[in-house]
């Protein structure tokens, strides 16, 4: 269980994805993007727009059930990406590196980029924007919703 939570808003996610795209512009153009589902879908869409990349592929790997980590299971392969040559892999986060290791084996020649990275997994990605501590659980905008909170004075 995480000891810290870090909430990312839609606006912040968009800013961080665009910042990652700026960083990736310095590299040779990519043939296509492989989004790791589900977390990489929205960052991949933003980055694909910014890089004007039209070929989008997905790889589906199930690793988490809520906050509980399990054994990775590939449910969809990225057929169009071959060994990854010329492709950019996008995910929202690299945590322990469990998913990243599986994807690296599938696409060893791709450039791997994430918005956020934790210490245990950051060596597995080529580019990222923000590092967070290993004991932090990131709450992405698709995992949360705004709701009423009682004023502090009512919590007596």
Confidence of residue 156 (pLDDT cuts 50, 70, 90): low
Cβ atoms within 10 A of the Cβ of 31, count? 16
pLDDT tens digit sequence for 89-143 = 999 999 999 999 999 999 999 999 999 999 999 999 999 999 999 999 999 999 9
The HSE-up count of residue 119 (CA atoms within 13 Å, CB side) is 4
pLDDT of residue 3: 85
pTM of the model: 0.89
Confidence of residue 2 (pLDDT cuts 50, 70, 90): confident
The Cα-based distances of 117 to 1, 32, 113, 146 in angstroms read: 18, 22, 10, 25
3-state secondary structure at position 55: coil
pLDDT of residue 74: 95
Residue 154 has pLDDT above 90, yes or no: no
If one looks up domain 4-145 in CATH, what number appears? 3.40.50.2020
In the chain, which residue ranges form alpha helices assigned H by DSSP?
Answer: 10-24, 41-51, 98-106
Domain regions of the chain by residue span = 4-145
pLDDT of residue 67: 62
Could you give the residue numbers annotated as active site? 91-92, 95
């Amino acid at each position: 269980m995480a000891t810290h939570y870090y909430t990312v808003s839609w606006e912040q996610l968009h800013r961080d994805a665009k910042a990652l795209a700026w960083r990736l512009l310095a590299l040779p153009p990519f043939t296509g993007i492989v989004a790791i589902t589900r977390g990489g879908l929205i960052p991949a869409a933003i980055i694909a727009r910014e890089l004007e990349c039209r070929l989008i592929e997905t790889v589906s790997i199930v690793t988490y059930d809520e906050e509980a980590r399990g054994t990775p299971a590939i449910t969809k392969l990225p057929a169009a990406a071959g060994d990854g040559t010329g492709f950019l892999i996008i995910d929202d986060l690299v945590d322990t590196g469990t998913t990243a290791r599986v994807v690296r084996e599938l696409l060893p020649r791709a450039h791997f980029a994430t918005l956020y990275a934790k210490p245990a997994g950051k060596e597995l990605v080529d580019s990222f924007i923000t590092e967070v501590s290993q004991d932090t659980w990131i709450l992405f905008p698709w995992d949360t919703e705004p709701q009423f909170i009682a004023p502090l004075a009512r919590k007596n």
